[in-house]
Amino acid sequence: MDWERIEEKLHILSDAAKYDVSCSSSGSHRANTAGGIGNAAACGICHTWSSDGRCVSLLKILMTNHCIYNCAYCVNAASREAKRAILTPEEIADVTLAFYRRNYIEGLFLSSGVYRSPDYTTELLIRTARILREEKKFNGYIHMKGIPGTSAALIRELGHYVDRLSVNIELPSSSSLKLLAPQKTKENILVPMGHIREGIDQWRDEKKRYKKVPSFVPAGQTTQLIVGATPDSDRTILRLSQALYDKVDMKRVYYSAYVPAVTGSNLPAIAEPPLLREHRLYQADWLMRFYQFNVEEILTDEVPNFDLDLDPKSCWALRHPEVFPLEVNRASYHDLLRVPGIGVTSARRICAARRQAFLSYDSLKRLGVVLKRARYFITCKGKYYGLSTDPAYVRRMLLSGQKQPSAYEPMSLF
Partner 1 sequence: MIYTYDGSFFGYLSAVFDGWHDGVHQIEDICLEADETSLFSASRFVTTDDGKARRILDALLLQCGPKACHYLYYAFLAEQKDRGLSLLTYVRTAFRYKQDFLHHLSDEPIWKVRQWARKTGNERHKLLGLARFQELSDGMLYCRLKPTCCVIPVMAPHFVRRLPGERWVLHDIRRGLGVYYDREKPVMVTIPDVQAAPELSADELAIERAWQNYYRTIAIPSRKNEALRRNFMPKKYWPTLIEMK
Taking CB under 8 A as the rule, does residue 38 contact partner 1?
A: yes
Q: What are phi and psi of 48, to 5 degrees?
A: -165, 175
Of 367, 369, 374, 394, the one binding partner 1 (CB under 8 A) is 367
Q: Of the two residues 58 and 248, which places its CB atom closer to partner 1 in the complex?
A: 58
Taking CB under 8 A as the rule, does residue 103 contact partner 1?
A: yes
Angle in degrees, CA 178, 181, 183, rounded to 5: 90
CA atoms within 13 A on the CB side of 55: 13
Residues 6 or more apart from 228 whose CB is under 8 A from it? 257, 258, 268, 270, 273, 274, 277, 278
Which residues, listed in sequence order, are joined to residue 391 by a DSSP beta bridge?
A: none
Angle in degrees, CA 183, 188, 189, rounded to 5: 110
Per CB under 8 A, contacts with partner 1 among 166-195 are none
Residue 75, SS3 per DSSP: coil
Taking CB under 8 A as the rule, does residue 363 contact partner 1?
A: yes
Taking CB under 8 A as the rule, does residue 11 contact partner 1?
A: yes
Q: Of the two residues 37 and 190, which places its CB atom closer to partner 1 in the complex?
A: 37
Angle, nearest 10°, between helix axes 152-161 and 118-130?
Answer: 20
Taking CB under 8 A as the rule, does residue 358 contact partner 1?
A: no
Q: Of the two residues 6 and 190, which places its CB atom closer to partner 1 in the complex?
A: 6
Of 22, 24, 26, 57, the one binding partner 1 (CB under 8 A) is 57
Taking CB under 8 A as the rule, does residue 52 contact partner 1?
A: yes
Taking CB under 8 A as the rule, does residue 410 contact partner 1?
A: yes
CA distance 51 to 72: 27
Residues 6 or more apart from 264 whose CB is under 8 A from it? 72, 73
Q: How are beta strands 141-145 and 252-257 bridged, if at all?
A: unpaired
Q: How far is the CB of 242 from partner 1 (least distance, A)?
A: 27
Of 67, 154, 240, 257, the one binding partner 1 (CB under 8 A) is 257
**Strand extents, DSSP E, 206-360:** 221-227, 252-257, 326-327
Taking CB under 8 A as the rule, does residue 348 contact partner 1?
A: no
Taking CB under 8 A as the binding criterion, the range among 4-12, 178-186, 200-208, 340-348 that sits at the site for partner 1 is 4-12
Taking CB under 8 A as the rule, does residue 85 contact partner 1?
A: no
H or E element, residue 213: none
Q: How far is the CB of 21 from partner 1 (least distance, A)?
A: 10
Binding mask 263-292 toward partner 1 (x if CB under 8 A, else -) reads ---------xx-x-----------------
- 389 within 8 A of 325, measured Cβ to Cβ: yes
- 235 within 8 A of 299, measured Cβ to Cβ: yes
Taking CB under 8 A as the rule, does residue 342 contact partner 1?
A: no
Q: How far is the CB of 19 from partner 1 (least distance, A)?
A: 7
Q: Of the two residues 109 and 161, which places its CB atom closer to partner 1 in the complex?
A: 109
Residues lying near partner 1 in the complex (CB under 8 A) are found at 1, 3-4, 6-7, 10-11, 14-15, 17-19, 31-32, 35-39, 41, 43, 45-57, 59-60, 95, 98-99, 101-104, 106, 257, 259-260, 272-273, 275, 353, 356, 363, 366-367, 406-411
